[in-house]
Amino acid sequence: MDPVRLPASDATWVPGAEGSGFGRANLPYGAVARPGQPAEPAVRVGTHALRLQALEDAGVLSRAELPAGALAGPVLNPLLALGPDAWARLRGVLQDLLAPGAHGRAAVQTALVPLAEVELRLPVAVGDFVDFYASLEHATALGRRFRPEGDPLLPNWRHLPVGYHGRAGSVAVSGTPVRRPHGQLGLGRFGPTEELDLELELGAVTGGGGEIFGFVVVNDWSARDIQRWEYQPLGPFLGKSFATSISGWVVPLDALAGARVPPREQDPEPLPYLRDADPWALDAELEVEVNGTVRSRANARTLYWTFPQMLAHATVNGAHARPGDLFASGTISAPGPGSLVELGDGFLRDGDAVVLRGACGAVSLGEVAGTVTA
Amino acid sequence: MDPVRLPASDATWVPGAEGSGFGRANLPYGAVARPGQPAEPAVRVGTHALRLQALEDAGVLSRAELPAGALAGPVLNPLLALGPDAWARLRGVLQDLLAPGAHGRAAVQTALVPLAEVELRLPVAVGDFVDFYASLEHATALGRRFRPEGDPLLPNWRHLPVGYHGRAGSVAVSGTPVRRPHGQLGLGRFGPTEELDLELELGAVTGGGGEIFGFVVVNDWSARDIQRWEYQPLGPFLGKSFATSISGWVVPLDALAGARVPPREQDPEPLPYLRDADPWALDAELEVEVNGTVRSRANARTLYWTFPQMLAHATVNGAHARPGDLFASGTISAPGPGSLVELGDGFLRDGDAVVLRGACGAVSLGEVAGTVTA
């Protein structure tokens, strides 16, 4: 295993940020709302949110050459629509402003708000939400459970990244409570799900050309009984569509250069449109915590299909990605399982507090939290 | 079969509209763009588009008491968000303005534009697109083809309206050309689909509370070879996500009161959340035309599951419908089949011009047209 390289410089004059996972090497984007104010784009620095429109208004972002309105909020979509060159310019300016000894500190200080004084909001208006099934270990485990009579891995699985569309309107930001869904649990049975599960995933947020802007941690809550009864032949629907939670801070791909590692071997070799001259996986350590106890640990580098492959597949038929589309990996289940059904000792109870979190070395991917309510 | 009642009064002073299917009894909503202008909401009257913001600006819609911006465009979503009372008020005012002998005719005349002078645009920004599988005849025919070894109808089919999420970002307005998609056609085979099909559907557009605002005709273009190889276990993905076309004029539910008929018998009786004190189906005659020849005729009243049942099911788990969500029936295949795979004499070729159209008696549902390109 390649060691995760530490970011070139995480140091910043913002107190407490360096080495916290949210130092100058990270600078993830989100949306926050001050009391009584609408949501606005921000960057997280340590335990502070840096309000981007306030910086723009103060004139210190002019070098980034963003069009008017790009940071006006309430979501990141206008920024996502600008594409990688604009993202890099803005990131460069922000890194300069936050560097030790930087000029223009007064304007930045005015735009910094303690996280405790803002509400975290959904960072993007999700256009379409695609969820894949890219973990070999997860697909094998679920196939065994859902189709005990057959081969757990279906014939197509090693030839294409199997995926489906989820419900974009049900994507919620970390901290949103999750109500136990009602539904058909089997033939003639209706009520609250008895098999409420979590799914540990990583999700890529895209720009308008389908480029990856950054990553969030995803909890694709699942009602296994509803899913098992409904899913044939058109796939998961109500067993998933009640809630999908994402972490509030989108970590830019540019912050993760040091965490790119060679992907897992693929056999058979995929078709040309799924080959990449410079393939990469993300060495992202992830963990599942329920009621304060870590239940499992997984790593995104174990995914069989890479994010570039997932995106290439999703658009090979001519479908366009839009700014703010969310492409999630599906449950990541290696080395440890990414769902309770795979752990095999029970499902979520009302009141359970679930936290999924991740880190690429010294760069935190943050966390996605949610508590189950009746 | 109940006779379709004719609308109380289709008469209007707008020349040529009465009896055209788009008279005063219909008044469907869409979005149009004049040359060099942004898209704006409009109502179709005969062969004219009536620009709603122009009416609002002229002060003749004040009785509808709409909030500012409701008709500002470029899509109908702000109007959809207002809910059924506002929709009824606006429709009432429009019907008064268009009645024979109506006052305020000068303002209306100024807001009328011939359809030939505007471009039809997507009427709604689709939040989520859900597609069902509600036709017994279609589910049986496709089950037989996709699973020749088993029971064509899976055990869940008569107990819940099977459905899945499609790609909202690929929904396009009538007239948009459809590029033949590339993809994996089977094991190790990649190229343009050899089995490009159409699907004749009806779609409900909702308000924010999940109420049905109106209906569009839907062509859920499908690549059968891609779909067959990819669809297990998570359902259709790239075989559908390249394009879904909808008619440009959303016919309000209020215009279709005369077309409500008792739905088809259901056996077994569905669970309580799927029962309705006053169930209804839509007596909507639909047809499939390819290159000017009508290939098949179907009627939406043959659907096994009703639209209220589809909506009740889609939201029973707590998922919220948003203004502009699209809930489509799935292919309607009775009395005639609603797809070419069911007709059995070949798929679409490059250059084929497909038109799906519908009518509820004297109220036209309009048409959705699309030509296949290489």
Q: Which of B190, B234, B317 has its CB closest to that of A163?
A: B234
Q: Which residues of B touch A165 (CB under 8 A)?
A: 164-167, 237, 241
What CA–CA distances, in Å, run from B243 to B128, B239, B267? 14, 9, 34
Euclidean distance between CA atoms A206 and B108, whole angstroms: 44
Tell me whether residues B234 and A162 touch, CB distance under 8 A.
yes
Q: Chain A residues with CB inside 8 Å of B310's CB? A: none
A6: pLDDT confidence band, cut at 50, 70 and 90?
very low
Chain A partners of B320 at a C-beta cutoff of 8 Å?
Answer: 169-170
d(CA B121, CA B126): 13
Please tell me whether residue A97 adopts helix, strand or coil conformation. Answer: helix
B241 near A CB under 8 A: yes
* Model confidence at A358: pLDDT above 60: yes
Phi, psi angle pair for B204, to nearest 5°? -100, 130
Helix (H, G, I), strand (E, B), or coil: what is residue A22? coil
Query: What SS3 state is found at B165?
Result: strand
Q: Is the dihedral of CA A220, A226, A231, A237 positive or negative?
A: negative
B171 CB within 8 Å of a chain A CB: no
For residue A50, the distance in angstroms to the closest alpha carbon of chain B comes to: 30
Q: Is A243 on the interface with B (CB under 8 A)?
A: yes
How sure is the predictor about B2, in pLDDT bands with cuts at 50, 70 and 90?
very low
Locate all alpha helices (DSSP H) within B18-160, ordered by sequence: 52-57, 77-80, 84-98, 105-111, 136-146
Q: Global pTM?
A: 0.96
Minimal-distance CA residue of chain A relative to B171: A319
Residue A2: its pLDDT value, please? 39
Residue A54 has pLDDT above 50, yes or no: yes
CA dist., res. B6 & res. B167, Å (int): 37
Q: Closest chain B residue to A131 measured between Cα atoms?
A: B234
Interchain contact, B133 vs A317, CB within 8 Å: no
Which of B240, B242, B238, B202 has the alpha carbon at shortest distance from B326? B202
pLDDT band at B128 (very low <50, low <70, confident <90, very high): very high
Residue B6 has pLDDT above 90, yes or no: no
The type of residue at B295 is: R
Residue contact A231–B235, C-beta within 8 A: yes
Contact between chains at B190 and A272 (C-beta distance less than 8 A)? yes
A193-241 pLDDT tens trace? 999 999 999 999 999 889 999 999 999 999 999 999 999 999 999 999 9
Both tokens assigned to B48: 């004219």
Give per-residue pLDDT as tens, B135-165: 999 999 989 987 888 889 999 999 999 999 9
CA B188/CA A75 separation, integer angstroms:
41
Q: Tell me, yes or no, if A138 is annotated catalytic.
A: yes
Residue B61 is classified by DSSP as: T
Which of chain A's residues have a Cβ under 8 Å away from the Cβ of B133? 234
Is the pLDDT confidence value at A3 over 50? Answer: no
Reference A289, options A175, A179, A177, A200; nearest CA is: A200
End-to-end CA, chain B: 43
Q: What is the 3-state secondary structure (H, E, C) of A226-283?
A: HHHHHCCCCCCCCCCCCCEEECCCEEEHHHHHHHEECCCCCCCCCCHHHCCCCCCEEC
- Please tell me which of the candidates A233, A316, A319 has its beta carbon nearest to residue B146: A233
Task: Read off the pLDDT of each residue in A82-102 and give the average, rounded to a whole number.
Answer: 97
Distance from the A127 Cα atom to the nearest Cα atom in chain B, whole angstroms = 7
pLDDT of the residue at A8: 62
User: How distant, in Å, are the alpha carbons of A213, A276, B220, B259 from that of B134?
Assistant: 38, 41, 14, 19
Hey, which residues does A59 pair with through a beta bridge? none
- Asked if A229 has any chain B CB less than 8 Å from its own CB, the reply is yes
Q: What is the CA radius of gyration of chain B?
A: 20
Residue A187 at interface with chain B, using a CB cutoff of 8 Å: yes
The label of the residue with tokens 């107990």 reads B159
The whole-angstrom separation of Cα B39 and Cα B33 is 4
Per-residue pLDDT, A104 = 81
Chain B interface test: which of A273, A317, A322 (most B C-beta within 10 Å): A317
User: How far lies A275's CA from each of A211, B72, B371, in Å?
Assistant: 17, 46, 32
DSSP string, B307-351: HHHHHHHHHTTSPPP-TT-EEE-----SBS-SBHHHHTS----TT
Of A43, A1, A6, A76, nearest to A359 (Cα)? A6
B184 vs A contacts (CB less than 8 Å): 156, 159-160, 271
- Find the distance separating the first CA and the last CA of chain A, reported in whole Å: 43
pLDDT band at residue B8 using 50, 70 and 90 as cut-offs: low
Mean pLDDT, chain A, whole residue set: 96
Any A CB within 8 A of B310 CB? no
**Residue of A103, A138, A165, A313 marked catalytic:** A138
Q: How many CB atoms lie within 10 A of CB B372?
A: 21
Q: Does A235 touch chain B (CB under 8 A)?
A: yes
Answer for the pair A163, A313: CB distance below 8 angstroms, yes or no: yes
Number of neighbours of residue B116 by Cβ within 10 angstroms: 7
Instruction: From chain B, pick out residues whose CB is under 8 angstroms from the CB of A325.
Output: 169
Asked if B322 reaches chain A (Cβ–Cβ under 8 Å), the answer is: yes
- Do the chains contact at B190 and A229, CB–CB below 8 Å? no
Q: Are A326 and A307 in contact (CB under 8 A)?
A: no
Count of C-beta atoms within a 10 Å radius of residue A68: 8
pLDDT of B4 > 50? The answer is: no
pLDDT digits (tens, 9 = 90+) for B129-140: 999 999 999 999
Instruction: Using a CB–CB cutoff of 8 Å, tell me whether A304 touches chain B.
Output: no
Q: Do A162 and B273 touch (CB under 8 A)?
A: no
B195-250 pLDDT, tens digit each: 999 999 999 999 988 999 999 999 999 999 999 999 999 999 999 999 999 999 99
More confident residue, B196 or B104: B196
Integer Cα distance of A143 and A151 in angstroms: 8
Q: Report the gap between the CA of A260 and the closest CA in chain B (Å).
A: 28
Chain A contacts of B325, Cβ < 8 Å? 169
pLDDT category at A150 given cuts 50, 70, 90 is: confident
Flag whether residue B6 sits within 8 Å of chain A, measured between CB atoms: no
Q: Is the pLDDT of residue B65 over 60?
A: yes
Q: Which of A143, A168, A273 sits opposite B128 (nearest CB)?
A: A168
Average the pLDDT over each of A148-162, B143-157, B353-367 and give the range with the smallest value: B143-157
Which of B142, B206, B237, B315 should one mutate to test binding to chain A, selecting the residue with the greatest count of A CBs within 10 A? B237
Contact A182 B271 (CB under 8 A): no
